Structure 1
Amino acid sequence: MAVIDNSETIGSLSEAGAGDFFALLKPRVMSLVVFTAFAGLVLAPGHVNPVLAIIAILCIAVGAGASGALNMWYDADIDAVMTRTARRPIPAGRVQPQEALAFGVTLSVFSVAILGLTVNWFSAAFLAFTIFFYAVVYTMWLKRSTPQNIVIGGASGAFPPMIGWACVTGGVSLDSIILFLIIFLWTPAHFWALALFKMKDYGAVGVPMMPNVAGAASTKRQIFLYAVLTAFAAVAPAFTGLASFGYGIASGILSAIFVAYAVLVLKMPESDERMAPARKLFAYSIFYLFAIFSALMVDRFAGAISAGLGLA
């Protein structure tokens, strides 16, 4: 495994620009976190002051970015080897590891403290636990020790809608747990599809992703299983009262397509070096999650408008 030698740079500061530190925040991952947290805030029963809602989303975004910075600090050695991550700020030499560590810790403390002081301490504690889970439990422990890293570690990416919900209610509920389950069950199918066509990269750095440990055939079966479970979770809000029957139809169609892509991956021949079905599933999975949470929010807004007009 390649390790970055920072012996000559420790104690010195880089000439990194604002864009390099922004890249440490993993903005694409942050966008998903912000979006699902906002959905949790919108879907939660009750009301929250709009200013406090904005502060809450900003704190969750900063907390997610802090997690990303701490992840990049710890994973700089393997990031330098993998083609997908070699140009990240630390392995590329634009940001020093100690800078990324200080940046991540500072943002973590700041985001949790502001959320607690302005919104409520339950949601702040939840955010702190999420940062810890991603940076320590997943990044430092699970990622390099078990092929179940994505399954267990995926919880950190599934907590944001629950945090958004807690910002409004001060607690959790069955519906917020369902929002968690949608993302939690979606994560293995999403990341293992990526791992199938990035198998060599993960093998080169010794990260025990499922395809490298259990083989492609077993991974494809598990992708299909998790896709089916995700479909059930995605439709569930229509049966708990969180969403309408119309949402149930929309989520059912979106989920059927998701499962169909998983079937194509399941049938994908070993000789397919490009692994086109896996690439298509990975791409659709991103759209799918955004579409599901968008449908939930549209359904909620439509219901509120109908109630306001006396149509409900």
Structure 2
Amino acid sequence: MSDTSIASENTARADYGSARASDYFALLKPRVMSLVVFTGLVGMAVAPGDLHPVLAFTALLCIAVGAGASGAINMWYDADIDQIMERTKNRPVPSGKVTAGEALAVGVSLSVASVILMGLAVNLVAATLLAITIGFYIFIYTMWLKRRTPQNIVIGGAAGAFPPMIGWAAVTGNVSVESLVLFAIIFFWTPPHFWALSLWRDIDYANAGVPMLPVVAGREATRRQVVIYSVLLFPIAVMPYFLGYAGIVYGLGSAVLGGVFLFGAVKVWLKKDEKSAKQLFAFSLLYLFLIFALLLGEAIVKGLV
């Protein structure tokens, strides 16, 4: 029996009405959503200008719902490989808690609603960027790149980099160099983050037929790419200071964090062990949070002075 048939059989076992609210919430990938909302908030906070608190909340709600909708559609499409991988087999669709059809319906409905609300309540630029983000994640990453190329994370990572641009556009109504730098920070952070994970989950990806870089090019090539992208990330993350929309605290903090990140990447390259890859993966999450927390903290202090 094919993987698709197995997935269909499992998802068909879900009993309509038996799914709990928590199962539907899990469809939205809440951990990913929380990071998306946070970076979107930072984009709004550092943007020049003001946005009414109600509109700001609405914009963040639309970003959150759009991200969750993308996650639900991703789970619908990837049900067959999700049930094979240890990391994803307990998700609502492969575990049979929610049917694939329900996941698709939830994802499509929330996608449309979030974009329309953003356009009507905030502005068309932010709504357009949100629509591009959802479409990119679903059609470009999930349906096209993920199963076809080891560059899936590199190109597909753009979807996760849009939220601060959307937040910026919600306030300003435009896209600027400053918001593109925020995009670039997440874009160049994504490959070393996910490749660190794939270095110790490569068997999982191989079993599912997902051509992650370690599966296709080997672990040594992946380690080199982790270092290369970490080197590229370092100056990009410091750029908000040199462009003048972040202060000295951010400038120094981002340099220190970038140095630690690069040290971890080099350690992965030299030591070639699972422990180093796990450590870099864990730190990469903290790194991104702290980078954007520094931007947010400075914006709050600036607003109080």
Normalised to the residue count of structure 1, the TM-score between the two structures is 0.94
Which runs of structure 2 are paired with 1:111-150 in the superposition (5 Å)? 111-150=114-153
Change in CA separation of 1:176 and 1:7 when aligned onto 2, cut-off 3 Å = closer
TM-superposition CA deviations, 1:272-297 (whole Å, max 9, x none): 4xx00000000000000000000011
- Structure 1: how far apart are the matches of 2:211 and 2:10? 28
CA distance in structure 1 between the aligned counterparts of 2:58 and 2:87, rounded to whole angstroms: 33
What residue is the counterpart of 1:256 in the other structure?
A: 259
Amino acid at match of 1:305: L
Q: Describe how 1:134-283 pairs up with structure 2 within 5 A.
A: 134-269=137-272, 272=273, 275-283=274-282
Number of aligned residue pairs: 302
Q: Per-residue displacement from partner, 1:70-101 (whole Å, max 9, x unpaired)? A: 00000000000000000000000010000000
Give the SS at the match of 1:93: coil
Measure the CA separation in 1 of the matches of 2:214 and 2:290. 28
Per-residue deviation at 1:68? 0.3
Residue identity in the other structure for 1:127: L
1:29 aligns with 2:32: yes
The match for 1:101 among 101, 104, 119 is 104
Instruction: Kindly provide the CA deviation profile for residues 126-161 of structure 1, in whole angstroms up to 9, marking residues without a partner as x.
Output: 101100100111000000000000000000000000
Task: Give, in angstroms, the shift of residue 303 of structure 1.
Answer: 2.7
Name the CA shift for 1:7/1:57 in 2 (closer, same or farther; >3 Å): closer
For 1:165, give the aligned amino acid: W
How far the C-alpha of 1:6 sits from its partner, in A, is 3.6
Rounded to whole Å, the distance in 2 between the matches of 1:12 and 1:267 is 50
Question: Residue type of the partner of 1:304?
Answer: G
Distance (whole Å) between structure 2 residues aligned to residue 191 and residue 242 of structure 1: 29
Q: 1:59 aligns with which of 54, 58, 62?
A: 62
Name structure 2 gaps, 5 residues minimum: none
Residue 249 (structure 1) shift: 0.6
Q: Distance in 2 between matches of 1:179 and 1:245?
A: 17
Does the CA contact (< 8 Å) of 2:161 and 2:183 recur in 1?
A: yes
Partner amino acid, structure 1, of 2:275? A
The answer to whether the 8 Å contact 1:193/1:279 transfers is yes
Bigger share in helix: 2
1:2 aligns with 2:3: yes
Give the ranges of 4+ consecutive aligned residues of structure 1 lying more than 3 Å apart after TM superposition.
Answer: 6-12
Given that 1:10 and 1:98 are in contact with CA atoms closer than 8 Å, whether structure 2 keeps it comes out as no
1:184-210, CA deviations, whole angstroms, 9 ceiling, x for partnerless residues? Answer: 000000000000000000000110000
For the Cα contact (< 8 Å) 1:14–1:96, is it kept in 2?
no
Query: Distance in 1 between the 2:9 and 2:140 partners?
Result: 25
C-alpha distance in 2, partners of 1:15/1:207? 31
Q: Secondary structure at the match of 1:146?
A: coil
Secondary structure of the corresponding residue to residue 8 of structure 2: coil
Post-superposition Cα deviations, 1:26-63, rounded to whole Å, max 9, x if no partner, equal 00000010000000000110000011000100010000
Q: Retained in 1: the 8 A contact 2:11–2:100?
A: no
Q: CA RMSD in A?
A: 1.5
Distance in structure 2 (CA, Å) of the matches to 1:150 and 1:54: 30
| Structure 2 partner of 1:304 | 303
Distance 1:43 1:152 in 2: 26
- Contact 1:14-1:95 within 8 A present in 2 as well: no
Cα drift, residue 11 of structure 1:
11
Report the counterpart of residue 285 of structure 2 in structure 1: 286
Shift of 1:125: 1.2
**Deviation of 1:302 (Å):** 2.3
Amino acid at match of 1:246: V
Query: Is the contact made by 2:195 and 2:222 (CA closer than 8 Å) also made in structure 1?
Result: yes
Corresponding position of 2:72:
69
The one-letter code of the counterpart of 1:76 is A
By how many angstroms is 1:299 displaced? 1.6
TM-score w.r.t. length of structure 2: 0.96
The whole-number CA distance in structure 2 between the counterparts of 1:298 and 1:185 is 23
CA distance in 2, matches of 1:135, 1:236: 30
> Which has the larger displacement, 103-112 or 9-18?
9-18
